Structure 1
Amino acid sequence: MLETWRWYGQFDGITLPEIAQTGAAGIVTALHEIPYGAVWPRDAIATRKAQIDQAGFSWSVVESLPVHEDIKRGTGDLARLFANYRQSLANLAAEGVQVVCYNFMPLLDWTRTELAAPVARGGSCLRFSADRMAAFELHMLGRAAAADDYPEDVRARAAIWFQQASQQDRDDLLKAIMSGLPGAFDRYDIDGLRRALRAYDGIDRTALRANYQRFLAEVIPAAADLGIRMCVHPDDPPRDILGLPRIVSDGDDLAWIAQAFDDPANGFTLCSGSLGANPANDVPAIARMVAGRIHFVHLRNVRKFPDGSFEEAAHLEGDTDMVALIGVLLAEEARRRATGRADHLIPFRPDHGHVLLSDFDRDLVPGYPLIGRLRGLAELRGVMHALAAGAGQPGAMV
């Protein structure tokens, strides 16, 4: 598999020379400074690619080319937005970038309630607390319908947390929930979030699916013509949140997406952490089901709790059988190699990581420390080497 590393460009406290020391061969990045819905200019793409090339890497995956909220809602000047998206794809293809990750999560990207939850023996991790999310929705946002989304015991603990929380605690909770939008131009306070949510009034799962299918119909043919592989990222967490529907959360959702526009260019970012946060998901089985459409992989692990909470675990710990999952991916890669595909290597990156050691003293993107991800990459690399050697697949990893 192709080892890659997510880098946030000028927003990242980790430098390309530091990333080179991890051994990764590819960079996963985006033009985070460009507003959603605008065209990514070819010269800006070329400048970023040259920077990556000069540091000794390839620009392996775009993560992400964002989908404007009007497309998700089915409102506004959709013709212009679709045309802009297709032009951005054309500009990326002209510079040789051929894998594009995106998501179709309404309003928010990944959502956590704690950015520095302590872990055993030191370090910290990202955490999603059902209690704190309920406190936010019920007592800070004032979304009355949220009472139906949480069991009574969670609502009770949420009320206690809110009563005991200082203003700083509440501010930190809002900051954590907003932190899943790196480089985004929309950041919400409570009133702003209420207004943004009202714009989704009347949009249920069926309507969101219809809007997504329209997006696929507008974009996938162009991507296929350009040789670009599109790969949607699963919902994180894989459940409805803030009253907004989520439609990329389980195997049934992925099966629907594959058929909504049946073309190899319409594929998936297999994120083991996002899918793994749903107790009903068997992540290796889902990977096996959609293996031929997996264009990019995020490998991380989560530990789940009965109340719906979860936290980031070490890469080989947590609830997902990472060894079994990697076995599925290596088998798919071997199948592609056997067909003569020149692009048989599947790019993956170690996703998220615990904050460890000197990373506590650095200003880093939440979830993306250097040392914790390096630890994860080393562990995943070891599993891949062992499985590839056992299957007689020399050169199965770069």
Structure 2
Amino acid sequence: MEETWRWFGPRDAVRLPQIRQTGARGIVTSLHDIPYGEVWSVEAIEERKALIAEDASLGLRWSVVESLPIHERIKLNEGDQTALFDNYRASMRNLAACGIKTICYNFMPVLDWTRTELAWPTPGGGRALRFGIVEFAAFDCYMLERPGAEAEFSEATLAAAKAWAQRASEADKEKLLANIMAGLPGAYDRYDIPGLRKMLDRYRGVTPAILRENLARFLREIIPLADELGMRFAIHPDDPPRPLMGLPRIVSNEADIAFILGSVDSRANGLTLCSGSLGAGPTNDVPGIARRFAERIHFAHLRNVAKDADGSFMEADHLDGDTDMVALVSVLLEEQERRRLAGLADWRIPMRPDHGHELLDDIGKPTHPGYPIIGRLKGLAELRGVMRAVSSAKGWPLA
């Protein structure tokens, strides 16, 4: 598979020469400074491409867009969205003209990935991301004070959450809010409690069925052009794959994915196989999901989680969580070999290590949460070993 690396642009504390030292050659990035709904111009895209390729000795290229964001009004089907769709299609044309044709995107309302702890201790002093159901319930029920929130948690969780809220200091509560907001991409402002309540109010009455139809409408608007341009769209699963703060989740399991890929039956309408997001769902068989939808997987985020019975989970080492990563990588490599033998030009599946632990000298550095260099380097090395071993055993090219 093509080894890629998420890079948040010139403001990222991880520099391009450091990325090259990991062995990755493909860069996964976005133009985070451009507000949602505005056009990505050819000039802006080429400027970012030139920055990535500036040092030719590194051999880096912009491989995947993560992401070309979808405006909240499209998710809500709110007001006249004609200009938003026109702008989105203009950005697609400009990206294709610049040779960038794989787009990872998500349809999660309001927030992207959500965690309650960004520095959960691991043996030896490392730090990991964690989603704690008790802390999240405390936030939802006793900080956000969302009407009806208590009905979504067990009695044991509610009791523990109430105890947490009663003993928590204002600093504890501010930290929890900041941690939950940290999953928003790039440089965008985070919500405070009143701002978050206001956003949630906009989604009042939006059921999973309504959000699903809004996604299907988005796909009907953009996939025909993606087909024409030879582009590949790859939706990212919900993270975590469960309702949050009353917001519907529609990319959480095998049935959701089947609906999405079937809503516009085109190879351009595909999946980002995120093993961590899907792996946090207690009933999800991640290698099985990968096998069922293999032909439509256009990008892979490979990471692992270790789940608790109450719905909590933490980011595990890449090979040591609840998902059988060897089985999953084997499925992806088998599909890649099928594409190669079929003569497809885009036969290689781009992958990236995701959400590494903070380790060694990375601890305390101002990297994006979940994106330190050493933890991801460790994960990439482990995954590279699995890919090499599987490919060698099968007699497949080491690509």
For normalisation by structure 1, the TM-score amounts to 0.98
**Alignment partner of 1:21 is 2:21:** yes
Determine if contact 1:304/1:311 at 8 Å carries over to the other structure: yes
For 1:84-103, what aligned pairs fall within 5 Å after superposition?
Answer: 84-103=87-106
Q: Which amino acid aligns with 1:47?
A: E
Whether the 8 Å CA contact 1:248–1:254 is kept in 2: the answer is: yes
Tell me which residue corresponds to 2:145. 142
Could you tell me whether the CA contact under 8 Å between 2:112 and 2:185 is conserved in 1? no
Residue from 204, 209, 212 that aligns with 1:206: 209
Matched residue of 2:90: which SS? Answer: helix
Cα offset, 1:120, TM superposition = 1.7
Aligned match of 1:247 in 247, 250, 255?
Answer: 250
What letter corresponds to residue 267 of structure 1 in structure 2? G
CA distance in 2, matches of 1:188, 1:125: 23
How far apart, CA to CA, are the structure 2 residues paired with 1:351 and 1:178?
A: 19
- Determine the C-alpha separation between the residues in 1 that align with 2:390 and 2:175: 42
SS at match of 2:148: helix
Tell me the secondary structure at the aligned position of residue 62 of structure 2.
Answer: strand
User: Which of the numbers 346, 358, 361 marks the counterpart of 1:358?
Assistant: 361
Residue pair 2:329, 2:387 contacting (<8 A) in 1 also: yes
Deviation at 1:361, TM superposition (A): 3.7
Give the 5 Å matches for 1:32-111: 32-55=32-55, 56-111=59-114
| Residues 223-260 of structure 1 deviation map (CA, whole Å, 9 limit, x = unaligned) | 11111100000000001111000000000000001110
Q: Counterpart of 1:270?
A: 273
Deviation at 1:110, TM superposition (A): 0.3
Residue matched to 2:302: 299
In structure 2, which of residues 338, 341, 347 is the aligned counterpart of residue 338 of structure 1? Answer: 341
CA distance in 2, matches of 1:335, 1:54: 34
Q: Is the 8 A contact 1:3 1:26 kept in 2?
A: yes
Structure-1 residue corresponding to 2:292 = 289
Q: State the partner residue of 1:236.
A: 239
Identity across the alignment (%):
59
CA distance, structure 2, for counterparts of residue 186 and residue 13 of structure 1: 19
Q: Is the 8 A contact 1:35 1:184 kept in 2?
A: no
| Counterpart-to-counterpart distance in 2, 1:124 and 1:51 | 31
Match of 1:128 among 126, 131, 152: 131
TM (normalized to structure 2)?
Answer: 0.98
- Is the aligned partner of 1:381 residue 2:384? yes
Gaps in structure 2 of 5+ consecutive residues: none
Give the 3-state SS of the residue equivalent to 1:33 in structure 2: coil
Show the counterpart of 1:370: 373
| Distance (Å, rounded) in 1 between the aligned partners of 2:337 and 2:110 | 38
- The residue correspondences of 1:177-196 to structure 2 (distance < 5 A) are 177-183=180-186, 185-196=188-199
In angstroms, what is the RMSD of aligned CA positions?
Answer: 0.8
Aligned twin of 1:325? 328
- The residue type paired with residue 156 of structure 2 is D
Task: Check conservation: 2:53, 2:60, Cα contact below 8 A.
Answer: yes
Of the structure 1 ranges 354-363 and 49-58, higher mean CA displacement relative to structure 2 is found in 49-58
Is 1:169 the counterpart of 2:163? The answer is: no
Task: Please state how far the C-alpha of 1:10 moved relative to its aligned partner.
Answer: 2.2
In the TM superposition, residue 52 of structure 1 has moved relative to its aligned partner by 1.1
Q: Secondary structure at the match of 1:296?
A: strand
Residue type of the partner of 1:190?
I
Deviation at 1:186, TM superposition (A): 4.4
Q: 1:12 is aligned with what amino acid?
A: D
Quote the Cα distance in structure 1 between the aligned partners of 2:216 and 2:126.
Answer: 42
Deviations 1:86-120, CA, capped at 9 Å, x for gaps: 11110000000010000000010000001101112
Residue 3 of structure 2 corresponds to which residue in structure 1?
3
Distance 2:97 2:22 in 1: 29
Structure 1 residue 169: Cα displacement: 0.7
Q: Deviations over 1:41-88 (max 9, x none)?
A: 110000001111224211110001111100000002311111111111
Partners of 2:16 and 2:96 in 1: CA distance: 23
Instruction: Tell me if the contact between 2:127 and 2:363 (Cα under 8 Å) persists in the aligned partners.
Output: no
CA distance 1:106–1:76, change in 2 (3 Å): same
Matched residue type, 2:263: A
State the AA in 2 paired with 1:71: I
Q: Distance in 2 between matches of 1:302 and 1:135?
A: 22
